[in-house]
């Protein structure tokens, strides 16, 4: 499978997916730490891909997503954004609503 197909499959297969440096319990950069903490605070399970362990994804996802930086949060197949957007959404409550609604929709569907 080509790397773009792999990325598309990961995004399609996971309701909430965070591409990050490291893992949620061991992030490898401050931005990934903030993003994963914000997601964990939503109280729903989410998938993640450690781009440091996946150099092909690290090289190709920015082109596919048209988003140059990491972390990248994808919810229901749509790019939400990076660390700053995730943090802002957590602060105003919209992140938790987005995540919970997506998980609920995909659990009952």
What pLDDT tens digit does each residue of the chain (109 aa) get?
A: 799 999 999 999 999 999 999 999 999 999 999 999 999 999 999 999 999 999 999 999 999 999 999 999 999 999 999 999 999 999 999 999 999 999 999 986 5
The pLDDT of residue 1: 75
Binding site, annotated residues for glutathione: 21, 58, 70, 83-84
Binding site, annotated residues: 21, 29, 58, 70, 83-84
pTM listed for this prediction: 0.96
The pLDDT of residue 107: 84
Binding site, annotated residues for [2Fe-2S] cluster: 29
Distance of alpha carbon 71 from alpha carbon 38, whole angstroms: 12
| Exposure string for 2-35, b = 16+ CB within 10 A, e = fewer | eeeebbeebbeebbbbbbbbbbbeebeeebbbbb
The pLDDT of residue 56: 97
**What domains lie within the chain, and their CATH numbers?**
3-103 (3.40.30.10)
Distance of alpha carbon 14 from alpha carbon 88, whole angstroms: 23
């Amino acid at each position: 499978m080509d790397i773009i197909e792999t990325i598309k499959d990961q995004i399609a297969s996971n309701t909430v997916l965070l591409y990050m440096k490291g893992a949620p319990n061991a992030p490898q950069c401050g931005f990934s730490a903030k993003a994963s903490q914000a997601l964990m605070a939503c109280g729903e399970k989410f998938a993640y891909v450690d781009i440091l362990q996946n150099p092909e994804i690290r090289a190709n996802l920015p082109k596919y997503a048209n988003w140059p930086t990491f972390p990248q949060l994808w919810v229901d197949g749509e790019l939400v954004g990076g660390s700053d957007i995730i943090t802002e959404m957590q602060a105003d409550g919209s992140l938790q609503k987005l995540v919970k609604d997506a998980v609920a929709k995909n659990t009952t569907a």
